[in-house]
């Protein structure tokens, strides 16, 4: 129990508001996809292994410990050598090279292959109808008896901070490669929580504009939030079954003590899923209210226009009658005929105007 509490403390740093939980590392230089590589024995990082080949040789020669290789957007050629040394399945290797995979967990003989969607909240001064709110990436994890290989796609989601924290707790890494898998899953799901908290602020903003009397809001902005929420949902929802399998099914590659605490990650994921569902319902209600407000405003405008058309119809009708130029028409020769017609016209218009005002049309 003490080891697991330390594990949770190590992989869950204090959450800073609107700060991405997965810190990015500088991309490898000179075309090298290897971000970091190390051998861990008894939970401690071993020195003297300058690259993947030396690390693999050290683990296989001594027969204890495990190697953790971190890669960033490797090509098929760059991953081929590592895949051959660790006997990685070709289908899993193909998925690791080609991004845009669904979150999943697959087992190939003695190797587990997990895919996680990473997310990052994109800061913006003002939400617009084209604002990118949620940016996604991917982390693939190959897990074996004596190795763990993490493959990152995207500009965020670097695991350098996570590796550093785990190295500061040797007892945690002593549990083997599955401790790394748990740490990655936990950090990814914690990032989901952070993004949902930031999305809450954007939703509150558009909600206040729609219902707070500061304007009718913008349907385009609301729809854009729904699209970005859908992007987050695509990252979160498919991950439920893999986490359930890691929490409930005994697997040779996963240490029993670590397996129990995948349930905690699964519980956090359920919280995120519930928040996403509530956000989606709320945005739907806000969008419907916004459209209803627009419809009401349009109806009020049409009533005003119709009222003024009715008022101006009176002088138009009278002018049309007297403009027919017949010789025998009422009051054509009367001295007060012209002012009388104008007075009658004005009186009728005022009566109609008062009636519309009384009924709320003007």
> How much is the average pLDDT of 48-65?
80
Mean pLDDT for the chain?
81
The answer to pTM > 0.95 is no
Per-residue pLDDT band at 332 (split at 50, 70, 90)? low
pLDDT value at residue 25 = 36
**Ranked by mean pLDDT, which of 43-57, 124-138, 257-271 comes out on top?**
257-271
What residues does CATH 3.30.460.20 cover in the chain?
2-293
The string of pLDDT tens digits covering residues 236-276 is 999 999 999 998 888 888 888 888 889 899 999 999 999 99
In order of 99, 118, 148, 308, the CA distances from 69 in angstroms are: 18, 19, 7, 76
Q: Per the structure block, which two tokens stand in for 47?
A: 């020195």
Per-residue pLDDT band at 148 (split at 50, 70, 90)? very high
More confident residue, 188 or 126: 188
What residues does CATH 1.20.58.340 cover in the chain?
300-358
Distance CA 17, CA 131 (A): 20
> How much is the average pLDDT of 198-223?
78
> How much is the average pLDDT of 202-220?
75
Contact between residue 140 and residue 96 where contact means Cβ atoms under 8 Å apart:
yes
Q: Say which CATH topology domain 300-358 has.
A: Methane Monooxygenase Hydroxylase; Chain G, domain 1 (1.20.58)
Burial class (CB in 10 A: 0-12, 13-18, 19+), 104: middle
Residue 104 has pLDDT above 90, yes or no: yes
Q: Which CATH architecture has domain 2-293?
A: 2-Layer Sandwich (3.30)
Least reliable range by pLDDT among 128-137, 274-283, 325-334, 342-351 = 325-334
Beginning with the edge strand found earlier in the chain, give each strand of the sheet holding 66-72 in spatial order: 44-46, 34-41, 66-72, 147-153, 134-143, 111-121, 104-108
In order of 8, 185, 200, 276, 309, the CA distances from 242 in angstroms are: 20, 10, 27, 19, 66
Contact between residue 179 and residue 166 where contact means Cβ atoms under 8 Å apart:
yes
Residue 114 has pLDDT above 90, yes or no: yes
In order of 22, 135, 137, 159, 225, the CA distances from 33 in angstroms are: 19, 22, 16, 14, 34
Q: Pairing relation of β-strands 66-72 and 104-108?
A: unpaired
More confident residue, 79 or 127: 79
State phi, psi for 137 to the nearest 5 degrees.
-145, -165
């Amino acid at each position: 129990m003490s080891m697991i509490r330390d594990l949770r403390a190590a992989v869950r740093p204090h959450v800073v508001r609107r700060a991405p939980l997965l810190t990015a590392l500088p991309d490898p230089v000179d075309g090298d996809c290897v971000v970091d590589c190390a051998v861990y024995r008894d939970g401690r990082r071993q020195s003297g292994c300058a690259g993947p080949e030396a690390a693999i040789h050290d683990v296989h020669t001594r027969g204890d410990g495990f190697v953790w290789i971190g890669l960033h957007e490797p090509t098929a050629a760059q991953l081929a050598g590592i895949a051959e040394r660790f006997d990685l399945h070709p289908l899993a290797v193909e998925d690791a090279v080609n991004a845009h995979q669904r979150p999943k967990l697959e087992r190939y003989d003695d190797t587990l292959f997990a895919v996680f969607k990473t997310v990052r909240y994109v800061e913006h001064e003002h939400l617009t109808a084209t604002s990118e709110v949620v940016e996604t990436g991917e982390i693939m994890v190959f897990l074996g008896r004596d190795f763990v290989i993490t493959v990152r796609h995207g500009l965020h989601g670097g695991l350098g901070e996570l590796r550093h924290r785990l190295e500061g707790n040797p007892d945690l890494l002593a549990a083997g490669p599955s401790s790394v898998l748990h740490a990655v899953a936990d950090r990814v799901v914690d990032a989901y929580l952070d993004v949902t908290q930031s999305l809450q602020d954007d939703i509150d903003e558009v909600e206040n504009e729609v219902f707070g009397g500061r304007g009718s809001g913008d349907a385009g902005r609301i729809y854009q939030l729904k699209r970005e929420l859908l992007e987050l949902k695509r990252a979160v929802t498919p991950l439920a079954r893999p986490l359930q399998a890691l929490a409930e099914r005994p697997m040779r590659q996963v240490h029993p003590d670590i397996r129990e605490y995948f349930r905690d990650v699964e519980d956090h994921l359920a919280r995120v899923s519930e928040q996403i569902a509530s956000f989606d319902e709320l945005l739907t209600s806000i969008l419907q209210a916004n459209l209803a407000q627009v419809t009401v405003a349009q109806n009020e405008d049409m009533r005003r226009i119709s009222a003024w058309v009715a008022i101006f119809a009176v002088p138009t009708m009278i002018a049309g009658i007297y403009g027919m130029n017949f010789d025998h028409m009422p009051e054509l020769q009367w001295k007060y005929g012209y002012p009388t017609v104008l007075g009658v016209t004005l009186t009728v218009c005022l009566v109609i105007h008062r009636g519309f005002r009384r009924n709320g049309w003007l």
